[in-house]
Amino acid sequence: MSRAATSSLIAAAALLGACATAVEERPPSAAAPTQANAVATTASAPTPPGADDTRATDDELLAQVVALNAALTQRFRAGDLLGVAAMYADDAVMLGPDGYRVAGRAAIDAYWTRFKSPVDWQLEIVAVDGRRGLIHQRGVSHLSYRRDSGELHTSTVDFVVLWVLGPDGAYRIGVDAYW
């Protein structure tokens, strides 16, 4: 990830606390639409000199996020937890309640592989903003898994994710904050 992208992610992460206080409580609703899709990529067409190649329409950003969410949830349901973790950048940061923090490839892999019996994951899209290369998604996650005792547990959290376009053309999560 470039130094500028890292700086943008750090600044955005600092603002996440403000986002958390602005989200009102709401009951769970239907899951976001799903599509069969692998990690979504963006085609890079040649850009004329001086043109802004970061602009994207709201529909383009939403379609990108829908595809990325579908890939995440399909991998989780299939038990491909390292596949879920692979959708995070190597230097990604996860931020949770009470100062909980997971950072870096090894820690993110360990976080996701702790779910020994994944059942279902639904991601609701509340808002999408940003530009091509850096997409801000706000949503609600309903993640269900079986605990070691066999008990079904569902975790419902609000979240903000920053999707960052990598040099390989794939979007990956740079920051994942949930509360």
> Which of 17-21, 53-57, 97-101, 174-178 has the weakest average pLDDT?
17-21
**Mean pLDDT, to the nearest integer, of 15-37?**
35
With a pLDDT cut of 70, the percent of the chain lying above it is 70
**Mean pLDDT, to the nearest integer, of 94-108?**
97
The values of phi and psi at residue 11, to 5°, are: -65, -40
pLDDT value at residue 53: 57
CA distance 73 to 125: 13
pLDDT value at residue 55: 77
CA distance 114 to 124: 23
Cβ distance 87 to 109 under 8 Å?
Answer: no
Residue 135 has pLDDT above 70, yes or no: yes
Greater confidence, 155 or 23? 155
Greater confidence, 117 or 20? 117
Topology of domain 3-23+57-178, CATH: Nuclear Transport Factor 2; Chain: A, (3.10.450)
How confident is residue 142, by pLDDT bands cut at 50, 70 and 90? Answer: very high
Q: For residue 139, give the nearest of 38, 26, 35 by alpha carbon.
A: 26
Residue 140 has pLDDT above 50, yes or no: yes
CA distances for 47 relative to 55, 93, 105, angstroms: 12, 31, 33
Q: Where are the domains of the chain?
A: 3-23+57-178
Helices (H) and strands (E) in the chain, counts: 4, 6
Check residue 25 and report its DSSP letter.
P
pLDDT value at residue 44: 37
CA angle 71, 73, 76 (to 5 degrees): 110
